[in-house]
Amino acid sequence: MANSKNIKLKKRFMSIHHSDRNKVQWFIFIITILAGIQFTVFISSLELTGNSTVSKPQAVDGFLPIGSLVSLKYYFKTGIFDHVHPAGVVILLFAVLLSFLLKKAFCSWFCPVGTLSEWVWKFGYRIFSKSVKPSKWIDIPLRSLKYLLMYFFVLSVLEMDEGYMTSFLNGQYWKVADVKMLLFFTGMSGVTILVLILLVAGSLFIRNFWCRYLCPYGAFLGIFSLISPSRIARNSESCTDCGLCSQVCPAYLPVDKKEYIISAECTGCVACSEACPVKNTLEFETLPMRSSFWTARRLAFFILCSFLVLVVVSKAFGIWESNVVSDEIIKLLPRIETISH
């Protein structure tokens, strides 16, 4: 009986793996990889020849969330928009707005790190046919780590005065922060490699190990997700209590027990509603719209289109492209290792 249940659950996981959400994840992941390759070629060309036939892909600024948060605070305080890594601010705003509107959909639909984390644990599930669910005595303290990290970073930004932010955003470090990020990935130390191995190992057995326990970005977005008008709604009258929804939930939320799921851990992945065998029993809804409005396909269309529109609008207003010219980067590259904030 247990084996039959595991097979049924495994089929649900595999069908969800080929869902509309997964197609969005693949699209964003491929775009991210291509941007990373283009950025690597861009920097390598500048180092070797002092010139580059390719332009810098602005999307890499999305990997600078802490600096982008500083830029955002600076904008609210002074009205001056950062033109060193403006795309990072735009992506941060997109993540915040999306998290408020549709729970932490940025994490489950858009974030390439979240996507990679999810693929690793699904690969582990495919091999071992099970995931480890830590007891609450271990799980709750571990989950607090990401909130502590988030508190540290956000508090650090909040304590910055205008003078420090001006110095930081106009300084050499911020101009090459994306290059230093690239060097982190291309020149990993032994300790970094060991940490990554441990994260992958943990992700093989625990669903979304990095996202669940360590990602401060996800914890930050969880604040906006908690006050989101969106939620998972369960119709208790038509519910058969099969429990599939809770079993496929990457956050281990008690979807089969609650009438509504309102949690900072909910990522709006709609895996639960896709796993539900009874139509219109488990739905993702955004108040005050009708509960049947959102489907996985409509969510995919809205998320992708809203981001593309935001990019087009940002370009039109001149807040997407960096104003740092190649000559400035070339001058800083020889001493990149010594530049700090």
Helices (H) and strands (E) in the chain, counts: 17, 3
Which residues are 286's β-sheet partners?
230
Q: Hey, how many other C-beta atoms are within 10 angstroms of the C-beta on 215?
A: 23
What's the burial of 48, exposed, middle or buried (CB within 10 Å: 0-12/13-18/19+)?
exposed
Smallest CA-to-CA distance from 187 within 32, 29, 44 is with 44
Report DSSP state, residue 286. E
- d(CA 156, CA 153) in angstroms, rounded, equals 5
Q: What end-to-end distance do the CA atoms of the chain give, in Å?
A: 59
pLDDT value of position 1:
45
Cβ distance 302 to 262 under 8 Å? no
Which residues are 282's β-sheet partners?
234
Q: Hey, how many other C-beta atoms are within 10 angstroms of the C-beta on 240?
A: 11
Tens digit of each residue's pLDDT, the chain (341 residues): 444 445 455 555 544 545 899 999 999 999 999 999 999 999 999 988 888 888 999 999 999 999 999 999 999 999 999 999 999 999 999 999 999 999 999 999 999 999 999 999 999 998 888 888 889 899 999 999 999 999 999 999 999 999 999 999 999 999 999 999 999 888 888 898 999 999 999 999 999 999 999 999 999 999 999 999 999 999 999 999 999 999 999 999 999 999 999 899 999 999 999 999 998 899 999 988 877 789 999 999 999 999 999 999 999 999 999 999 999 999 999 999 888 87
Domain range list for the chain: 2-227+303-338
- d(CA 141, CA 13) in angstroms, rounded, equals 28
- d(CA 214, CA 216) in angstroms, rounded, equals 6
Report DSSP state, residue 130. -
Say whether the peptide bond before residue 288 is cis (omega within 30 degrees of 0).
yes
pLDDT value of position 116:
94
pLDDT value of position 115:
95
pLDDT value of position 9:
52
pLDDT value of position 290:
74
The predicted model scores a pTM of 0.91
